[in-house]
Structure 1
Amino acid sequence: MLETDLARKLLDFYLALGVDEAMGDQPLDRRRAEPPPAPDRGRPPAPGLRAAGQAEAPPSRAPAPPADLAALAPDRGIADARTRAAECGTLAALDAAIRGFDGCALKQTAMSTVIYDGAVDAPLLVIGEAPGGEEDRLGKPFVGPAGQMLDRMLAAIGLDRTRACITNMVYWRPPGNRKPTDAELAVCLPFVERFISLVNPKVILLAGGTPAQTLLGRTDGITKLRGRWFDWTDSRGVTIPMLPSYHPSYLLRSPGQKRDAWKDFLVLADRLEGLIQS
Structure 2
Amino acid sequence: MSEREKLNDEASRAAARSLLAWQAEAGADEAIGNHPVNRMAAKEPGPGESAANPSGAGDPGPDAGARGQSAPAGATAARTEVAAPDPVMAARTKAREARTLVDLLHILEGFEGCPLRFTAKNLCFADGNPEARVMFIGEAPGADEDIQGKPFVGRAGKLLDKMLAAIGLDRSSAYITNVVYWRPPGNRTPTPQETQICRPFIERQIELADPDFVVFLGGAAAKEMLNRSEGILKLRGKWFDFDTGKRTIKAIATLHPAYLLRQPAQKRLAWRDFLAIKKALDT
TM-score, shorter chain, exceeding 0.5 = yes
5 Å-filtered alignment, 1:1-278, equals 58-60=52-54, 76-236=86-246, 238-274=247-283
- Count of matched residue pairs: 229
Aligned mates of 1:230, 1:197 — CA distance in 2: 17
5+ residue gaps, structure 1: 1-9, 26-34, 42-53, 62-69
| CA offsets 1:70-120 (integer angstroms, 9 cap, x no match) | 99x6x7111111111111111111110111100001011000001000000
Aligned mates of 1:159, 1:256 — CA distance in 2: 23
Aligned mates of 1:23, 1:57 — CA distance in 2: 30
Distance 1:158-1:22 versus aligned 2 partners, 3 A rule: same
Aligned mates of 2:50, 2:107 — CA distance in 1: 50
Aligned mates of 1:13, 1:273 — CA distance in 2: 51
Q: Which amino acid aligns with 1:124?
A: V
**Runs of 4+ that moved beyond 6 A:** 12-17, 22-25
Distance 1:58-1:20 versus aligned 2 partners, 3 A rule: closer
Q: Which amino acid aligns with 2:53?
A: P
Cα offset, 1:256, TM superposition: 1.0
Cα offset, 1:57, TM superposition: 5.3
Aligned mates of 1:137, 1:109 — CA distance in 2: 12
Secondary structure of 1:159's aligned partner:
coil
Distance 1:272-1:76 versus aligned 2 partners, 3 A rule: same
Aligned mates of 2:103, 2:22 — CA distance in 1: 42
| CA offsets 1:155-202 (integer angstroms, 9 cap, x no match) | 000000000000000110001111111101100000000000110001
TM-score, L = length of structure 1: 0.75
The CA RMSD over aligned residues, in Å, is 3.0
Distance 1:265-1:22 versus aligned 2 partners, 3 A rule: same
Q: Which amino acid aligns with 1:269?
A: K
Cα offset, 1:24, TM superposition: 10
5+ residue gaps, structure 2: 1-17, 56-81
Secondary structure of 2:165's aligned partner:
helix
Aligned mates of 1:55, 1:155 — CA distance in 2: 68
Residue equivalent to 1:64: none
TM-score, L = length of structure 2: 0.74
Aligned mates of 2:139, 2:244 — CA distance in 1: 20
Aligned mates of 2:280, 2:24 — CA distance in 1: 40
Secondary structure of 1:243's aligned partner:
strand
Cα offset, 1:240, TM superposition: 1.4
Distance 1:82-1:23 versus aligned 2 partners, 3 A rule: closer
Cα offset, 1:219, TM superposition: 0.8
Cα offset, 1:23, TM superposition: 8.3
